[in-house]
Amino acid sequence: MPFVASDDGVEIFYKDWGSGQPIMFHHGWPLSSDDWDAQLLFFVQQGYRVIAHDRRGHGRSAQAGHGHDMEHYAADAAAVVAHLDLHDVVHIGHSAGGGEVARYVAKHSAGRVAKAALIGAVPPLMIQTKSNPGGLPIEVFDGFREGLATDRSQFYLDIACGPFYGFNRPGADVSQGVIWNWWRQGMAGSAMAHYEGIRAFSETDFTEDLQAIDVPTLIMHGDDDQVVPIAVSAELSVTSVENATLTVYPGLSHGMCTLNAETINVDLLDFIKS
């Protein structure tokens, strides 16, 4: 399997399929590059080169005991880009991966980035603070930590069965395959990486990163996202990125890239071609 070593020696797994303009996908917590299956297959069939990596401690990447923060996440993404010598890249990030994209584009792009897309993404800042009163209380994330440390397997099933895909909504069309695939990806990663990653995605302030983005940026968010509420994320992020457009999807969940791939993929394709 293809790996690249990060600056601090962590082996990062990546997929690299097809040819043409490169699109790089950055997955959410606590998943892996497999969460982008519906996008990778679609875009490679549209004539693009698609790249997706497993974040350190996630999926098939090394279960390092250090570096579970956005600085290292962005640097690891940069290592993949440099190893493959990618240019004119469209970077697409979901959830925590959206934070990774914001940090990467702000600090590591060096002229390599063509466009960016943030989907159900955590920026600008998820946690409630004096300067961010609309954020989520720290007790929410402490609950994540407790669930992970106490019974990670059941905790992950509860997330997949419930808020991530909106399967807890009345009349939801529940897919057991989607649930088990989410659980499979989560359990493949490191409990330590996932535990420390909660702080990375919830307490990192991306405001300055967003302000530094100077490429066309598409922000996509479902208005029934129960994991990353739109009011504390996309509706604020769009005001910080100079050349950003916000597309809101009525009734869609945090997991819309999987459940509503036919809609998301077409909108991403239109954005990339525009």
- CATH number at 262 reads 3.40.50.1820
| Res 109 pLDDT > 80 | no
User: Which of the residues 6, 61, 95, 237 is marked catalytic?
Assistant: 95
What percent of the chain is predicted at pLDDT more than 70?
100
Domain with 231, as residue range(s), is 3-273
Q: Which pLDDT value is given to residue 182?
A: 98
**pLDDT score, position 39:** 98
> Given CA atoms 257, 262, 264, 268 in this order, what sign does their dihedral have?
positive
Q: Does residue 233 carry a catalytic annotation?
A: no
CA dist., res. 37 & res. 41, Å (int): 6
Name the residue type at position 158.
D
Q: What is the mean pLDDT of residues 119-139?
A: 97
Q: 52: which strand partners? A: 15, 25
If one counts every other C-beta atom within 10 angstroms of the C-beta of residue 58, the result is 30
Banded model confidence at residue 12, pLDDT cuts 50, 70, 90 = very high
Strands (E), the chain: 3-5, 11-17, 22-26, 49-53, 89-94, 113-119, 217-222, 244-249
Structure tokens that stand for 176 in this block:
């057991």
Provide mean pLDDT across the span 125-146.
Answer: 97
Active site residue 254: yes
- The closest alpha carbon to 226, from 148, 167, 149, belongs to 167
**Strand runs labelled E in 70-197:** 89-94, 113-119
| Mean per-residue pLDDT, 172-186 | 98
pLDDT digits (tens, 9 = 90+) for 31-62: 999 999 999 999 999 999 999 999 999 999 99
Whether the pLDDT of residue 108 is over 90: the answer is: no
Q: Is the pLDDT of residue 17 over 80?
A: yes
Mean pLDDT of 68-72: 98
pLDDT band at 3 (very low <50, low <70, confident <90, very high): very high
pTM of this structure: 0.97
Cα dihedral 140, 219, 224, 96 sign: negative
The tally of domains found in the chain comes to 1
Catalytic residue among 76, 225, 233, 240: 225
Give the pLDDT band (50/70/90) at residue 20: very high
- pLDDT tens-digit map of 250-263: 999 999 999 999 99
What is the rounded average pLDDT for all residues in the chain?
97
Mean pLDDT calculated for residue range 158-176: 97
For residue 110, name the pLDDT band (cuts at 50, 70, 90). confident
